[in-house]
């Protein structure tokens, strides 16, 4: 196992840092209530509040000196790029979320009611623990409907007793939790307001590595801030929580504590991700951040809005990557698909006759690329749905039909 220490960070406390320090030699994956920052070279600019929507950005690529006879006359200047038009459309729909939770003191004397224990301390009993503390934190969120639905991270509001939302125009609202989904680290809030600015969810599957993106949120509580970067990779896993469904967009746009739940947008001012995590030696950014893709966020949001919870399909198999060595041992030339290494007794896969050693190459005609993608494909299909699996067994391809069961986080953790 590599020398990584995984750190789960809750809502950033107001007035003090909760990021754990670590030796530089250790890599810590910090789950942000505000995802973390970047190096000094990152480009940050504070977003102006309340700006009205404007047309798509114009990139000026051929500026010239319009004057007469200077030495630079007629020489094209360096291309000037501005994201101001995108920011003016996005900024009003990104909010700050303030949470208040109760911190329970540990039980120091579990045998306080034992008579012999009380005899030792006298009638006063043992010293009483300190009173409960109130903890405050902040994160970010994105307005996704003009009637007040807001997407954020589950870890931003986890355990909160009070949630308040500050809009870009400084209006403050109490918020309620419509639903929260720990496996995807997403939550849906609702405020009583209307005619709100919103962000349209884009197609995260269509995002390409190298596309320019902007991250918008409230880092470290300093106020709404915009940073720029690119999509560095797609389909990333961090493995921060057991049983989670991960398909992250990786970006080098600077994100810091307080950014979690904020927006990652493309140049069409569309939401393509919800900022969630960073990879860092000590809690500060090194330009490796992760956002939950908008297509996953859309599916989770719709379920939470409809029923308050997310239902996921489950096949009941453990699969592993099909590399050249495994393929050779199975007598297969191609390394396409995933290998079944375990079948859960009584599961949908077991009932369908899937066996250990089968190679699954497609689900409902869609090619299977890797274990994580396959797991998300299954999870994104409603329980009770009949699916068709293309498998290779003993050198022959065949079709198998299976009716999916329902994923249970508790059962997954017991495995």
* Active-site residue, selected from the candidate residues 42, 180, 232, 260: 260
Distances (CA, A) of 235 to 205, 293, 413: 10, 9, 23
* Helices marked H in 130-215: 154-157
Residue 185 is a catalytic residue: yes
Contact 187, 152 (CB under 8 A): yes
d(CA 12, CA 138): 5
Distances (CA, A) of 33 to 46, 158, 256: 20, 10, 9
Residue 104 is a catalytic residue: no
DSSP 110-137: TTTTSHHHHHHH-TT-SPPPPPPEEEEE
Contact 124, 112 (CB under 8 A): no
Residue 260 is a catalytic residue: yes
Specify the residue for token string 């995984």.
6
Query: HSE-up of 340 (CA within 13 Å, CB side)?
Result: 22
Contact 99, 138 (CB under 8 A): yes
* Active-site residue, selected from the candidate residues 42, 140, 154, 155: 155
180-194 per-residue burial string, b: 16 or more CB within 10 A, e: under 16: bbebbbbbbbbbeee
- Classify residue 90 by its DSSP letter: H
d(CA 319, CA 342): 7
* Active-site residue, selected from the candidate residues 85, 158, 185, 303: 185
d(CA 61, CA 82): 11
End-to-end CA distance of the chain: 21
Strands of 284-385 (E only): list them. 289-293, 313-314, 317-321, 338-343, 359-363, 366-367
174 strand-pairing partners: 164
d(CA 101, CA 255): 24
Torsion of CA 371, 376, 377, 381, to 10 degrees: 140
Which residues are known catalytic residues? 155, 185, 260
């Amino acid at each position: 196992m590599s020398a990584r220490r995984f750190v789960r960070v809750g809502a950033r406390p107001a007035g003090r840092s909760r990021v754990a320090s670590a030796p530089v030699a250790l890599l810590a994956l910090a789950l942000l209530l505000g995802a973390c920052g970047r190096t000094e070279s990152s480009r940050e600019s504070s977003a102006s509040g309340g700006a009205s929507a404007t047309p798509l950005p114009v990139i000026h690529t051929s500026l010239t000196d319009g004057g007469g006879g200077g030495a630079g006359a007629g020489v094209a200047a360096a291309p000037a790029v501005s994201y101001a038009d995108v920011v003016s459309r996005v900024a009003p729909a990104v909010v700050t979320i303030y949470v208040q939770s109760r911190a329970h003191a540990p039980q120091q004397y579990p045998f306080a009611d034992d008579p012999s224990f009380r005899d030792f301390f006298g009638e006063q009993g043992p010293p009483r623990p300190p009173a409960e503390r109130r903890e405050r934190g902040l994160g970010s969120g994105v307005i996704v409907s003009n009637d007040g639905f807001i997407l954020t991270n589950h870890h931003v509001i986890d355990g909160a007793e009070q949630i308040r939302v500050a809009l870009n125009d400084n209006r403050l609202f109490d918020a309620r939790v419509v639903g929260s989904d720990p496996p995807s680290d997403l939550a849906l809030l609702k405020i009583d307001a209307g005619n709100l600015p919103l962000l349209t969810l884009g197609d995260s599957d269509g995002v390409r590595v190298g596309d320019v993106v902007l991250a918008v949120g409230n880092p470290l509580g300093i106020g709404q801030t915009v940073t720029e970067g690119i999509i560095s990779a797609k389909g990333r896993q961090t493995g921060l929580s057991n049983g989670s469904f991960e398909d992250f967009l990786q970006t080098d746009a600077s994100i810091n504590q307080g950014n979690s739940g904020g927006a990652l947008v493309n140049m069409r001012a569309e939401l393509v991700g919800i900022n969630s995590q960073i990879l860092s030696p000590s809690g500060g950014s090194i330009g490796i951040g992760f956002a939950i893709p908008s297509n996953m966020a859309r599916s989770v949001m719709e379920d939470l809005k409809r029923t308050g919870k997310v239902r996921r399909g489950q096949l009941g198999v453990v699969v592993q990557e099909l590399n050249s060595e495994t393929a050779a041992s199975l007598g297969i030339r191609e390394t396409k698909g995933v290998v079944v290494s375990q079948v859960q007794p009584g599961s949908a896969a077991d009932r369908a006759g899937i066996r250990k050693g089968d190679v699954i190459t497609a689900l409902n005609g869609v090619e299977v690329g890797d274990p994580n993608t396959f797991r998300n494909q299954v999870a994104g299909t409603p329980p009770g749905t009949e699916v068709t699996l293309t498998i290779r067994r003993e050198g022959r391809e065949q079709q198998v039909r299976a009716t999916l069961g329902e994923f249970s986080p508790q059962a997954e953790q017991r495995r």
